[in-house]
A = this chain, B = another copy of it.
Amino acid sequence: MYFSLLPFLFAALPFASANPRVPTIPKNATLPKHFGILLYNGFTELDVYGPLGVLQGLYAQFLHPNLHLSIISKNIMPVSSVPGLRGDFGESVVVTSTFGSILAQNGTVPGKGPLEVLLVPGGAGSRNELEEEVTFIKAIYPKLKHIMSVCTGSTLLARSGILDGRKATTNKKAWAWATSTGPKVDWVHTARWVPDGNIWTSSGVSAGIDLTYAWVGNVYGEDVADYIAQAIEYKRWYNATDDPFAAVWNEPEP
């Protein structure tokens, strides 16, 4: 009787000598398996790699080798994070699929299956017209399970029309310009991230990390999202409306 209580005592100790339990993801054929990242010149890297860090945790800890990633752009040339190619303070990423090749195959990439989740980053380059990017989003969205945008990536979603009548948020420092791209969007100012159906948008740059944990928690389970956060040493933000930066940037910038 005395000994049988020991495991419970250990579990209650603040420094119990055991690492966190690895949660399991239920086998579910409807869970997304193929993610895409839409890139254009002048994207902000952290808008991509913050979320990708979380998704790679999902891949490495749970779903290897059954997750796939496509790096998607208008053509097959590497995409630079330096806006307008002024200077060299950035990097260039190799593209794996083009808008045209995916649409020509009805939203599918050979070997990876149908594209199910698309991530759209922001960045200085989002100030450009980006007509091909916006057209692609409009065409692919009906085939997707989910779409996520970080920072001013939401302006591409807004320009494609898919945010009309929906709630969304965007970068707080660039609020005036960013929201002007979607006059029919229900923009939410005080929000770290906003889910509306299968469209998830976040505030500026770093908020994309919190958006992705929340999305993984929603789709794969909160214990899965928590485990990834512990593995890559991140303190999650759990409250979508906890947004200190809404009050920091309260004067419109052009």
The closest CB in chain B to the CB of A49 belongs to B49
Choose among B81, B233, B248 the residue that contacts A206 (Cβ–Cβ < 8 A).
B233
Given contacts A93-B94, A94-B91, A248-B19, contact A49 B45 (CB under 8 A): yes
Contact indicator per residue, chain A 1-41, by CB within 8 Å of chain B (1) or not (0): 00000000000001101111000000000000001010000
Given contacts A67-B89, A88-B96, A230-B245, contact A48 B46 (CB under 8 A): no
Given contacts A173-B231, A205-B233, A248-B20, contact A50 B46 (CB under 8 A): yes
The closest CB in chain B to the CB of A210 belongs to B233
B230 near A206 with CB under 8 A, answer no
B45 near A52 with CB under 8 A, answer yes
What residues of chain B lie closer than 8 Å to A93, measured between beta carbons?
91-94
One of A56-64, A126-134, A139-147, A216-224 at the interface: A56-64
Where chain A touches its partner, the secondary structure class is loop
B90 near A250 with CB under 8 A, answer no
The answer to whether the Cβ of A234 comes within 8 Å of any Cβ in the partner chain is: yes
How many chain A residues have a CB neighbour from B under 8 Å?
A: 64
What residues of chain B lie closer than 8 Å to A234, measured between beta carbons?
205-206
10 A-B pairs with the lowest CB-CB distances in the bound complex, closest first = A46-B53, A49-B49, A205-B232, A206-B234, A92-B94, A204-B233, A59-B89, A233-B245, A65-B87, A45-B49
Residues in A lying within 8 Å of B, measured CB to CB:
14-15, 17-20, 35, 37, 44-46, 48-50, 52-53, 55-56, 59-60, 64-65, 67-71, 78, 81, 86-94, 96, 112, 124, 171-173, 203-207, 209, 230-235, 244-245, 247-251, 253
Q: What are 18 A-B residue pairs whose CB atoms fall within 8 Å in the complex?
A: A15-B247, A17-B251, A35-B89, A37-B91, A45-B53, A48-B49, A50-B53, A55-B89, A56-B90, A64-B86, A64-B87, A65-B86, A69-B91, A88-B96, A92-B94, A203-B233, A230-B248, A235-B244
